[in-house]
Amino acid sequence: MIDRVLLTVLLLLHVAGCAQRPASPRVVLISVDGLWPGDLARAESLGVRLPMLDSLVRAGAFAAGVIGSVPSVTFPSHTTMVTGVRPARHGIYSNQRPWFPTDTGPDARAWYWEAHRVRVPGLFEAARAAGKRTAAVYWPATAHHPGIDYNIPDAWDPRAPDSVFAALRRLGTPWLLDSLGAPAGVGETSDSLRAHWTAEIIRRWDPDFVLLHLLDIDHWKHETGPAGDSVWAALPRTDRHIGQVLAARHRPRPTTVIVTSDHGFLPYERVLRPGVLLVRAGLVTLDASGRVTDWRAGVVGNGGSAMFLPRDSADPAIAGRIRAAIPDSLVGPGRPIRAVWSRDSLRALGGDPRALWAIDMNEGFYTTLGFRGDLLSS
């Protein structure tokens, strides 16, 4: 699916505290990955009941959409949410870190897991400075974050052969998963576990700022399309998970609840492999087995867009060679590419400052990585 447009549901609920001494307010921020406002209307038309989300809409405020980050994929978007700045400033330019075509091994596809890669302070740091306690469950770009008191990051370790739970213990708050009764052996995480962990953190430690990232909707939209039957089956489960978290209380507190998302989805039928363009232009050289032996430019794919990064940004000819590799016959209405963005355009949009060019796809088209195979495929 094309992760191109960030569409957000913003729902605010103020719950009056009933303690004798006024309790300090709390914020609960829940990101439902891949959700967009149209899903709620479509669910209603299909008879899919979402009592928790519906009650939040009635009691609070609803936003039909926002202007997204560039690119509007999971890790940049979530980092923009908590820093208030675009990727060019916060440094999380994509889901995966840039890689060189000759890279091999597990780190060749490493994601922006580590918190130290975020270049600006955000809400976690502001909360810590104000003496507030924070919790984050599966929030992107938070591994080893020093400012989160209760942290289970959206991260994994491709270099380690052990389970995801062992990796989360290393990358987050080390003692937290054991305290929550998480499995010690091999297994998979789920939205059910993530919601349970978040609810338990609220019950036991009552943090002031709580963030939860739910992934089930995004998974099924990728698997079955943005309107597949599995999406409508997953929505009520997500609604129950949100209700489970909001029902968890250590003590009554005024609470602001924000339910939001990181991007929307568009369907696609055809796939473009921009790396093939670099091979055809002589910017990437392959041996007989298809292994990269030399290169002058690489590609970072983001589904509905792709960015071209140079090996040597000081090469005065490289920008022109990359642009010449993108034929105008691929650009325009009804063609794969909607627009070609220059470096200046990317900077104005707040995208990766290292990229010299980017392509934005038309609806119905998607980008994928690789330097061999057909340029366009179904």
pLDDT at 273: 97
Amino acid (1-letter code) at residue 321: R
Tell me what pLDDT residue 8 has: 33
Amino acid 252: pLDDT: 86
User: What does the H/E/C string look like for 199-221?
Assistant: HHHHHHHCCCEEEEEECHHHHHH
Tell me the pLDDT tens digit for each residue of 119-137. 999 999 999 999 999 999 9
Backbone dihedral angles phi then psi of residue 255, each to the nearest 5 degrees: -130, 130
Place of tokens 């473009």: 272
pLDDT in tens, 14-66: 333 334 556 789 999 999 999 998 999 999 999 999 999 999 999 999 988 88
Q: Rounded to the nearest 5°, which phi and psi values hold at 181?
A: 75, 25
Q: Which pLDDT score, from 0 to 100, does residue 98 have?
A: 72
Burial of residue 235 (CB within 10 Å: 0-12, 13-18, 19+) is buried
Amino acid 7: pLDDT: 31
What distances in angstroms separate CA 40 from CA 2, 67, 167, 260, 327, one per listed residue? 20, 19, 35, 13, 40
308, 297 in Cβ contact below 8 A? yes
CA-closest candidate to residue 198, choices 173, 215, 180, 183: 180
**pLDDT tens digits for the chain (378 residues)?**
333 333 333 333 333 333 455 678 999 999 999 999 899 999 999 999 999 999 999 999 998 888 889 999 999 999 999 999 999 999 999 998 877 777 666 666 689 999 999 999 999 999 999 999 999 999 999 999 999 999 999 998 777 767 899 999 999 999 999 999 998 877 889 999 999 999 999 999 999 999 999 999 999 999 999 999 999 999 999 999 999 999 998 888 999 999 999 999 989 999 999 999 999 999 999 999 988 999 999 999 999 999 999 999 899 999 999 999 999 999 999 999 999 999 999 999 999 999 999 999 999 999 998 899 999 998
211-217-218 Cα angle (round to 5): 85
pLDDT at 35 (0 to 100): 95
Integer Cα distance of 135 and 332 in angstroms: 46
What is the reported pLDDT for 15? 36
Q: From CA 120, how far away is CA 52, in angstroms rounded?
A: 34
Find, among 360, 331, 339, the residue nearest to 4 by Cα. 360
Q: How far is CA 354 from the centre of its chain?
A: 20
Q: What is the pLDDT of residue 338?
A: 97
In angstroms, the Cα distances linking 52 to 55, 119, 300 are: 5, 36, 38
- DSSP E strands: which ranges in the chain? 26-32, 134-137, 150-152, 209-214, 255-260, 268-272, 284-286, 292-295, 297-301, 305-310, 337-342, 357-361, 364-367, 376-377
Mention every residue, 6+ apart, whose C-beta is less than 8 A from residue 297: 278, 283, 284, 308, 309, 310, 311, 318, 321, 322, 325, 356
Q: What is the DSSP string of 346-377?
A: HHHHT--TT-SEEEEEPTEEEE---SSS-SEE
Q: What is the token pair recorded at 19?
A: 């303690």
Measured distance CA(101)–CA(90) in Å, rounded: 25
What residues have CB less than 8 Å from 121, skipping those under 6 apart?
Answer: 83
